[in-house]
Amino acid sequence: MSKLNILRYPDPRLHKVAKPVTVFDARLAKLVEDMAETMYDAPGVGLAATQVDVHERLMIIDVTEDKTGLKAYVNPEIIWASEDKQVYDEGCLSVPGIYDGVERPSRVKVRAQDVKGETFEVEADGLLAVCIQHEMDHLMGKVFVEYLSPLKRNRIKTKMIKEEREIARHQARPHRR
């Protein structure tokens, strides 16, 4: 397994729409393993392939406390969403340190395939429902900050760009002993 690089907002690659997965092979299984290592290391509860610059309809989620519930969703689609909504404070591995309330359907039913191409369905509420919708947004090229007001979004964008510059400046400095 190897850790992948997570794209940071406002990287334009985060806005690419993912293509359906058509080949279910060892490469796909390895990508899921690498994404899992990356997500757990970050640490996070969900990761879309878009976030690691792979523009395929694949996301992984594990909302368990003990990290034993990893599930890969290949070519996911929401086939039902409740009319009742709920606001959750969301965060994102591509927008580290930023959390804000996003209103979404409180329950969803999703149909997807596993890494072998077998179709399954999941009904979800609570954190899992939020996670599914959040990661599916990534596959459509949407980041959660786009649900926020333009003012908040611009402040976050400015902050993220400034942090990237600081990271780059720090990495460019020669190390002294």
Domain count, the chain: 1
Residue 25 lies in a domain: yes
Mean pLDDT of 43-53: 97
Domain CATH number, residue 37: 3.90.45.10
pLDDT at 176 over 60: no
Which pTM does this prediction carry?
Answer: 0.93
Is there a domain that residue 144 lies in?
A: yes
Q: Is residue 141 part of a domain?
A: yes
User: 55 a known binding residue?
Assistant: no
The phi, psi pair for 2, rounded to 5°, reads: -145, 145
With respect to residue 145, please indicate whether it lies within any of the assigned structural domains: yes
Give the per-residue pLDDT at 153: 95
pLDDT at 171 over 90: no
130 falls within a domain:
yes
**Is 5 part of any domain?**
no
User: Could you give the residue numbers annotated as active site?
Assistant: 135
Return the pLDDT at 2.
80
Whether the CB-CB separation of 53 and 13 falls below 8 Å is answered with yes
Assess if residue 43 is contained within a domain. yes
Q: Is residue 7 part of a domain?
A: no
Residue of 1, 91, 85 lying closest to 41 (CA atoms): 1
Q: Is the peptide bond before 12 cis (omega within 30 degrees of 0)?
A: no
The amino acid at residue 125 is D
Distance CA 177, CA 99 (A): 38
The pLDDT tens digits of the residues spanning 66-108 come to 999 999 999 999 999 999 999 999 999 999 999 999 999 999 9
pLDDT tens digits, one per residue of 56-68: 999 999 999 999 9
User: 26-38, pLDDT tens digit by residue?
Assistant: 999 999 999 999 9
Determine whether the annotation assigns residue 170 to a binding site: no
Euclidean distance between CA atoms 28 and 114, whole angstroms: 10
Structural domain boundaries, residue 107: 12-172
